[in-house]
Amino acid sequence: MLETVNGTGASRGGGRHAVVIGASLAGLLAAQVLAEHADRVTVVERDRLPEGPEPRGGVPQSRHTHVLIPGGQRAYDALLPGFTDELMAHGAPRVGAPSDLAQWQAGRWFRRTEETAFFICPTRPLLEWLVRRRVLANPRIELVQGTETVGLVGDASRVRGVLLRERGAAAVAVGREPQRLAADLVVDASGRSSKAADWLTAIGAEPAVEETLETGLAYATRVYRTGEDDEAEPHFIVPNPGQTHGAVVLPAEGDRWMVTLSGLRGNEPPLDDRGFTEFADRLPHPITRNWLDAAKADAPALAYRTTANIRRRYDRPGRRPAGFLATGDAQCVFNPIYGQGMTVAAMSALALRDALADTRRTPTTRRVQKAMFAASRQAWDISAGSDKNMPTATGVAARSTPADRVSGWYLARVEARAPGDPAVGRVFRDVLYLTAPVTALFAPRIAKAVLFGPVRPSPQEPPTRREGI
Task: Give the lowest-confidence range in 6-10, 205-209, 240-244.
Answer: 6-10
Cis amide linkage into residue 239, ω under 30° from 0: no
Residues 278 and 166 in one domain: no
pLDDT surpassing 50 at residue 95: yes
State mean pLDDT over 149-176: 84
Residues 275 and 244 in one domain: yes
pLDDT tens digits, one per residue of 332-376: 999 998 999 999 999 999 999 999 999 888 889 999 999 999 999
pLDDT tens digits, one per residue of 238-273: 999 999 999 999 999 999 999 999 999 899 999 999
State mean pLDDT over 378-389: 95
State mean pLDDT over 66-81: 98
Q: Is residue 84 part of a domain?
A: no
The domain that holds 257 is classified in CATH as 3.30.70.2450
Query: In which band, very low, low, confident or very high, does the pLDDT at 285 lie, cut at 50, 70 and 90?
Result: very high
Is the CB of residue 378 less than 8 Å from the CB of residue 437? yes
Torsion of CA 118, 311, 148, 57, to 10 degrees: -40
Please tell me the total count of domains within the chain. 3
Q: What is the pLDDT of residue 228?
A: 67
Residues 299 and 348 in one domain: no
Give the H or E element holding residue 150: strand 147-154
Residues 267 and 358 in one domain: no
> What percentage of residues in the chain have a pLDDT greater than 70?
95
Q: What is the pLDDT of residue 407?
A: 93
Residues 58 and 165 in one domain: yes
pLDDT surpassing 80 at residue 469: no
Q: Is residue 95 part of a domain?
A: no
Q: Is residue 362 part of a domain?
A: yes
Backbone phi and psi for residue 61, each to the nearest 5 degrees, phi listed first: -90, 10
State mean pLDDT over 277-304: 96
Is the CB of residue 303 less than 8 Å from the CB of residue 270? no
Residues 134 and 184 in one domain: yes
Residues 275 and 372 in one domain: no
Q: Which of 304, 331, 350 is the last residue of a domain?
A: 304
Residues 190 and 261 in one domain: no
State mean pLDDT over 72-88: 98
Residues 189 and 239 in one domain: no
Q: What is the pLDDT of residue 232?
A: 82
DSSP state of 396: G
Q: Is residue 464 part of a domain?
A: no
State mean pLDDT over 444-460: 97
Per-chain mean pLDDT for the chain: 93
Q: What is the pLDDT of residue 254?
A: 93
Query: In which band, very low, low, confident or very high, does the pLDDT at 3 lie, cut at 50, 70 and 90?
Result: very low
pLDDT tens digits, one per residue of 393-407: 999 999 988 988 999
Q: Which of 304, 323, 350 is the last residue of a domain?
A: 304
3-state class (DSSP) for residue 240: strand
Query: In which band, very low, low, confident or very high, does the pLDDT at 230 lie, cut at 50, 70 and 90?
Result: low
Which among 44, 13, 402 has a CA at the least distance from the CA of 190? Answer: 44
Q: Is residue 272 part of a domain?
A: yes
Q: Which of 350, 385, 420 is the last residue of a domain?
A: 385
pLDDT surpassing 50 at residue 9: no
Task: Give the lowest-confidence range in 1-5, 59-63, 109-113.
Answer: 1-5
Q: What is the pLDDT of residue 136?
A: 98
Residues 149 and 43 in one domain: yes
The domain that holds 146 is classified in CATH as 3.50.50.60
Residues 178 and 203 in one domain: yes
CA distance 95 to 256: 14
DSSP state of 361: S
DSSP state of 61: T
Q: Is residue 431 part of a domain?
A: yes
What domain range includes position 291? 217-304
Inter-axis angle of helices 444-452 and 422-432, nearest 10? 120
State mean pLDDT over 295-306: 95
Query: In which band, very low, low, confident or very high, does the pLDDT at 227 lie, cut at 50, 70 and 90?
Result: confident
Q: Greatest CA separation found in the chain? A: 72
CA distance 324 to 320: 8
Is the CB of residue 434 less than 8 Å from the CB of residue 67? no
Q: Is residue 9 part of a domain?
A: no
Which among 240, 203, 195, 187 has a CA at the least distance from the CA of 369? Answer: 187
Q: Is residue 467 part of a domain?
A: no
Residues 194 and 255 in one domain: no
